[in-house]
Amino acid sequence: MELELKNRIKRVKTGLAICVALVVLLAISNVWFFNRNQSLQDLRSALETQNSDLQVQIDTLQTQNTNLQSQISNLQGQINSLKTKNDQLQSQQEILQSEVDALQTQNVNLQDEIEVLKAPQLHKVNVQWTDYPRYPLPYVLIQGAVFNSGSESAHNAILTVRIFDKAGTLLKSEEIHLGTIEGKSYIAFSVDVPYSGDADSVTTTLAYD
């Protein structure tokens, strides 16, 4: 009986020792799990903070991206506007160039006209002929004037007189030397041109050096 009691006490002590050991293990486990849980909580808080910071950075970048897109759109609009203005300026330049070319052509033409106006321009004024068919020396009286409307002098001016009969046969050709005719001036002449035959018509032409 006493032996059985001792065995029971021994078993109880053993059970208590095991229980104490289990309690210690559970306590250690609880502390470890608590610390682990706390670490995870801290890590979670840190990750949430990082996530919040990253979200703020994302929002900031999105705002900057939106601003950049707006700036790009504005710059593109300015570029398109500048291209339009450039096209307009090129068109205006082409128009102005055409006008300049036209004015240069007009200037050349005016210069040519000025040169033409400066050059000697001889004109017959009231040139008439009268036939005096007196035998044996018939002649034609040629009289009138030659006017130089140019600014420059006409040198060695010559009036050529040709006398024809009714058949158109040349009876006489004679040059009347008028000399130098100054610009904007005239020279009057009256010359007898003898011929042989029966005069019907007279022509006169002018020439100068």
Mean pLDDT for 174-186 is: 96
Report how far apart, in Å, the C-alpha atoms of 174 and of each of 131, 154, 168 are: 15, 20, 17
The structural domain count of the chain equals: 2
Please report, in angstroms and rounded to a whole number, the separation of the first and last CA atoms in the chain.
Answer: 176
Report how far apart, in Å, the C-alpha atoms of 133 and of each of 167, 189, 203 are: 17, 21, 17
CB 166, CB 202: distance < 8 Å: no
Q: pLDDT value at position 124?
A: 97
Q: Which of 168, 70, 59, 150 is nearest to 113 (CA)?
A: 150
Range of the domain at 23: 1-118
With a pLDDT cut of 70, the percent of the chain lying above it is: 99
> Which of 118, 148, 181 finishes a domain?
118
> Which of 118, 150, 169 finishes a domain?
118
Instruction: Look over the chain and give the mean of its residue pLDDT values, rounded to a whole number.
Output: 88
**Is the per-residue pLDDT at 13 higher than 70?**
yes
Report how far apart, in Å, the C-alpha atoms of 128 and of each of 41, 46, 98 are: 134, 127, 51
Same domain assignment for residues 109 and 192: no
Same domain assignment for residues 111 and 126: no
Question: pLDDT tens, 65-98?
Answer: 888 888 888 888 899 988 888 889 988 999 999 8
pTM of the entire structure? 0.51
Same domain assignment for residues 10 and 25: yes
Mean pLDDT for 126-134 is: 93
Same domain assignment for residues 50 and 77: yes
Same domain assignment for residues 104 and 193: no
> Which of 98, 118, 138 finishes a domain?
118
Same domain assignment for residues 110 and 177: no
Alpha-carbon distance 142 to 158, whole Å?
Answer: 13
Mean pLDDT for 29-55 is: 82
